[in-house]
Amino acid sequence: MLLLQPEADIHLGRLRDNYHFLQSKVGSAKVMAVVKADAYGHGVVPVADSLYEAGVHGFCVALVSEVRELIQADIENPILHLGGISPDTLDVYDSGQVRCTINSANDIKWLENYGLKNNLQIISHLKIDTGMGRMGVRYEDFDSLINQLTQCKNIKVEGVYSHFSTAEEKDVEYRNWQLKRFKAVVKRLKKFIPNVEYFHMANSAAILTCPGAHFNMVRPGISLYGVTPLGEPHDDLRPVMKMKAPVIFIKEFNKGESVGYNQQYKTDQNETIAIVQAGYADGIPTELSNKGEVEIGGTVYPIVGKISMDLVAISCRNMKLKIDQEAIFWGSDNMNFRLENLAGKYKKIPYEFLTGITKRVKRNYLHE
């Protein structure tokens, strides 16, 4: 039976291999796998199940809805909610499985009142903004927040963390400045709340390049999926996703005819064009219009014309293609189809490729 739709092969064996490699880089530090945004487009429940089997300590997500999805899937590992706290969803912390993030004095007030009202301790991680400039307690306000926390009876501070702004850059001056600030926070915190268990700052880039930032917990994201934010592929990380779609139509064009929207491609000779069942509604970036490539059977074919919502046209280049042949957009063994290289070529970031994959793309979970 022909299943003419875009598909993403998800190699769970590679996912586990990537996790084991990252764990080997950080020694005894606990790994909190970042599985927000549907595990970067890979499917959060199969990914979480696979990483659980591999021995991961826990998971990080951004939204309460993502927390609930993991709980409903019977994931029992610790879950760190990285996002903002809402007084309307504090029940998600009741069981003690989910750790909240404290970003402000308001968070402390809401959590303490809720814990007091319901006779429970809420496990939390305190986030310090050491220079990222987004969420988190301002570095300058750290002392006053700690004073508030030491007076709370219904909040247990299990961890403290921060986030790098420039960990993937070759210029490490700002990264090191942030790390120095966080180390000062750690030292000071231990004096006021000596039973804090975890300190974490390292994302994927810092895990690979900055051992001094590993502490006793790390938060790998994109590296788990075999991609680095460092601009080039890593020999020990293998892509987990292969994005592909079938050839569904082959058509002969005469010289001077146009292909697709806005006549962005015109044939300069008689030419065979193949149509692939995928488009920007599936996550194929429009930046590939008239200059991207696909791989079919080990041969590279140019994308011609404009990427449309559902379809991509490719030039057959005098090769004989067949209906249902698999056109790979990224994730093949060809290094030119590694996302680090594609991102540089099209001036995007690899995260956009992965998280842009939509729900109508069929995921095939392969347990190598």
On whether residue 2 sits in a domain, the answer given is no
**222-266, pLDDT tens digit by residue?**
999 999 999 999 999 999 999 999 999 999 999 999 999 999 999
Select from 72, 47, 168, 115 the least CA-distant residue to 60: 47
- Residue 362 in any domain: the answer is no
Same-domain status, 193 and 273: no
Range 339-355 average pLDDT? 96
Shared-domain flag, residues 206 and 246: no
Domain end, chosen from 191, 225, 259, is at 225
Burial class (CB in 10 A: 0-12, 13-18, 19+), 63: middle
In terms of domains, do 252 and 204 share one? Answer: no
Query: Is pLDDT above 90 for 126?
Result: yes
In total, how many domains does the chain have?
A: 2
Q: What's 190's domain CATH number? A: 3.20.20.10
Question: CA–CA separation, 276 vs 6, rounded Å?
Answer: 9
- Is it the case that residue 368 has pLDDT exceeding 90? no
124 and 216 inside one domain? yes
Range of the domain at 326: 241-337
36 is catalytic: yes
Angle at 298 between CA 293 and CA 301, to 5 degrees: 25
| Amino acid 208: pLDDT | 97
Q: Which of 225, 259, 276 is the last residue of a domain?
A: 225
Q: What CATH number corresponds to the domain at position 321? A: 2.40.37.10
User: What's the confidence (pLDDT) of residue 226?
Assistant: 98
Q: Which of 117, 180, 261, 291 is catalytic?
A: 261
196-218 confidence digits (pLDDT tens): 999 999 999 999 999 999 999 99
Q: Which of 196, 225, 254 is the last residue before a domain boundary? A: 225
- Asked whether residue 337 carries a pLDDT value surpassing 70, the answer given is yes
Q: Are 261 and 267 in contact (CB under 8 A)?
A: no
How much is the pLDDT for 361?
Answer: 98
* Residues paired with residue 245 on neighbouring β-strands, in sequence order: 327
Give the mean model confidence (pLDDT) for residues 296-322: 95
pTM assigned to the model = 0.95
Q: Annotated catalytic residue: which of 19, 25, 30, 36?
A: 36
Contact 78, 103 (CB under 8 A): no
What would the mean pLDDT of 339-344 be, rounded to a whole number?
96
Across the range 58-77, mean pLDDT stands at 97
Nearest to 329 by CA among 272, 273, 245, 260: 245
Q: For residue 33, is it within any domain?
A: yes
Q: Is 261 one of the catalytic residues?
A: yes
Residues 142, 206 within the same domain:
yes
Q: At 317, is the pLDDT very low, low, confident or very high (cuts 50, 70, 90)?
A: confident
Q: Is there a single domain that holds both residue 253 and residue 212? A: no
- Tens of pLDDT along 23-49? 999 999 999 999 999 999 999 999 999
